Amino acid sequence: MLSTVLLGLALVFAREPQADQTAQLQNQLNKGAGKTVTFPVGTFTVRTLKVPKNTRLTIGPKTIIKGAPMSTPVPVLELQSGVKLAGGGLIHGNRTKRTRGTGILVHACNGVSINGIRIQEVAEQGLQVSGSKNITLTNVQVNGCGLKGIDQYQGINIVITQNVKITGCRVENAQHGIQWWGDDTNGWCENIQISGNRVRRVGGGGIWGNRGRNVTVSTNTVEICGDVGVDFEHSQNCKAINNTVRDVKNYGLAVFFASEGITFTNNRVTQGLTSGHGIGLLGDGLSKKISFIGGSINTKGAAACGLTTIGTNVAQDVLVQGVRIVTEGSGGIPIRIIDNNEFRIINNPLISGANPAGVSLEGSSRSVVEGNVIVHRGVDKSQLGERGGIFVFWRSPEFPSQNNRIADNTIRGYRTGINDECWGNNNSNNVFENNTTPNLVHRGAGGAWGGKAVQNRTAARVAAPVEIKQ
C-alpha cells in the first residue's frame, strides 16, 4: 500500500501546485505495479501517467489529476491490461491550456475496469477504449469534451473492441455521448452492453455507433441531442430495450446504412416542438429485419412524423407492432413509408392531431397494415380523397404501391378513411378487408380498379360507402 508514501509527496507538491509532477507520481506507480495504490488528497499536474498492468489504483473524491499545458494528443491517464481503477476522483483535461488529448485511454488491453471516476474539461475524447477486450465501465461521469478545431470529442468512445459493459455512466456536453465504432478492415465492435446510463446535451448522437454486432442498449435516458437518440449504423443483431429518449434534433430512434437484425422493444420517445421525428430509417444500403415492438412515440414538431423513411430502398422487412404513436404537428404523420417495401404495421394505436393521414404508404408495395386503431383527434379539414386514415399512393412504375393488404383496422375521425390513390396504375391489387372506416376511396371508374374491397363497415356496422375518384 503506497498511501503513506504518496501522502508525503502530496505535502511536497502542495508547495508547488503548478509544477509538473509526472515523474514523481509515475515512479511511485511503477514501484506499486501489480499491487494496490491509493493516490492522496490533492491536485496533481501531470503530462501522462501510465498505470502498469494488474494494478489496483484508487483515486479518491478529493483528488484531482490535472493535465499539464501542452498541445500533444496524449491522455492524462493511460491504463494497461488488468488495471482496476476506482474512486470518485477527477481527471481534469485542462482543455483551455491542454489543447489536445483524451482524459483516459485504454488501448490494446484486456480485463480493465473503471468505476466511479469523473472526467472533465478534455479537448478530445473523455474516455477512449480501442483495440481491447473485456472492459467494464461503471458510474463514470464525463462532462465537457471538445475544443475549437478538434474533430473527435466523444464522451465515451469504444473503437474496435469486444466484450464491453457500460453501466450507470453519465455523459454531458460532448460531441457524442456513448459511441462504438468498428470497420471492415480492423474489426467490428462486438458484444457490448450499454445499460442504465444517462446522456444529455451532446452535439450529435446520444448512444450510437457503426459496425457493431450484438450490441444491447437498454434502460438508458438520452435527451437534448443535436442529431439522434439511439442509433445503429452498419450494425447487426442489436437490441434497444426500455430506453427513454427526449428532445433530439433529428430522430429519436434510427437505423442507417444496411443494418440487419435490429430490434427495438418498449422504448419511449418524446419529441418537443423544436425536435424531429420519432423513428428514422435511412442511409445508403438496404436495412433488413428491423423490428419496433411496444413502447411509445410522441412528436410535437410541425413536420415530425412518428416513423418515417428517408431515401429509396433504405429498409425492407420491417415490423412495427404495438407501438403507440401520437403526432401533433400539421405535417406529422404517425407512420409514413416512402419508396420502401415490405412493412408490417400491426396492432398499433396511431393518433394524429392535425395531419389528414394516419398510415401513409407512398410507393410502398407488399406491405401489411392490420389490426391498427387509427384516430384523428382534431378536426380533419381535408377534402374527400385528399389523404386518408390509411393512404396508399402510387408514386412511380418502380414504386407503385401495389399488392398491399389492409385488414381489420379501425379508423375514426378522418374525412377519408381509406384511400387507394392508384392514379398511375388503377390495377393496384391492393386488398382492403374487414376494416371499420367511414368510407373507402379509390381510382378507376367502370370496373377499371384492380383492387379489392371486402366487408368493410362503418362504426355503425353498415357497409362502408365506396367513392370512386376520377
Q: Assign residue 450 a region: left if phi > 0, alpha if psi is -120 to 50, beta otherwise?
A: alpha
Q: Is residue 258 situated within a structural domain?
A: no
Residue 174: Cβ-neighbour burial (10 angstroms; 0-12, 13-18, 19+): buried
Of 118, 116, 113, 115, the residue nearest 103 (C-alpha) = 118
Phi-psi region of 425 (alpha: psi -120 to 50; beta: other; left: phi over 0): beta
In a domain, 422, yes or no: yes
Is 432 contained in some domain?
yes
Any alpha helices (H) in 377-446, and if so which ranges?
none
In angstroms, what CA-CA distances link 442 with 169, 254, 386, 407?
A: 54, 33, 11, 16
Q: Over the stretch 342-380, which tens digit does the pLDDT of each residue have? A: 999 999 999 999 999 999 999 999 999 999 999 999 999
Half-sphere exposure (Cβ direction) of 203: Cα atoms closer than 13 Å: 13
pLDDT digits (tens, 9 = 90+) for 301-331: 999 999 999 999 999 999 999 999 999 999 9
260-292 confidence digits (pLDDT tens) = 999 999 999 999 999 999 999 999 999 999 999
57 vs 114: CA distance, rounded Å:
10
Provide mean pLDDT across the span 49-77: 98
Which range of residues forms the domain containing residue 402?
Answer: 356-470
Cell numbers at 169, concatenated: 455512466
Q: What percent of the chain clears pLDDT 70, i.e. is strictly above it?
A: 96
Within a domain: 434: yes
CB-based contacts of 256, cutoff 8 Å, min separation 6 = 231, 232, 233, 234, 282, 283, 287
- Can you tell me the distance from the alpha carbon of 341 to that of 285, in angstroms, rounded to the nearest whole number? 14
Q: Is residue 468 part of a domain?
A: yes
Confidence class for position 446, pLDDT limits 50, 70, 90: confident
**Residue 12: φ, ψ to 5°:** -70, -45
Q: Quick check: is 418 in a domain?
A: yes
Instruction: Please write the tens of the pLDDT for every residue from 104-139.
Output: 999 999 999 999 999 999 999 999 999 999 999 999
pLDDT at 7: 43
Q: Which residues contact 430 (CB under 8 A, 6 or more apart)?
A: 392, 401, 402, 403, 404, 405, 406, 420, 422, 451, 452
Domain count, the chain: 1
CA angle 465, 469, 470 (to 5 degrees): 145
Judge whether 131 and 110 are in contact, CB under 8 Å: no
Q: How far apart are CA 37 and CA 27, in angstroms?
A: 12
- Domain for residue 369, yes or no? yes
Which H helix or E strand runs over 141? Answer: strand 141-145
pLDDT of residue 85: 98
| Helix and strand counts by DSSP (H, E) for the chain | 2, 49
pLDDT reading at 456 higher than 50: yes
pTM of the model: 0.96
Segment 212-230, tens digit of pLDDT: 999 999 999 999 999 999 9
Q: Tell me the per-residue pLDDT of 143-184, one tens digit each, with 9 for 90 and over.
A: 999 999 999 999 999 999 999 999 999 999 999 999 999 999
What pLDDT does residue 16 have?
Answer: 58
Q: What is the pLDDT of residue 9?
A: 54
131 inside domain = no
Q: Which residues of 95-113 are buried (b: 16+ CB within 10 A; e: fewer)?
A: beebbbbbbbbbeebebbb
Cα-only R_g, the chain: 28
Give me the helix-helix angle, 22-31 and 3-13, nearest 10°: 170
pLDDT at 466: 96
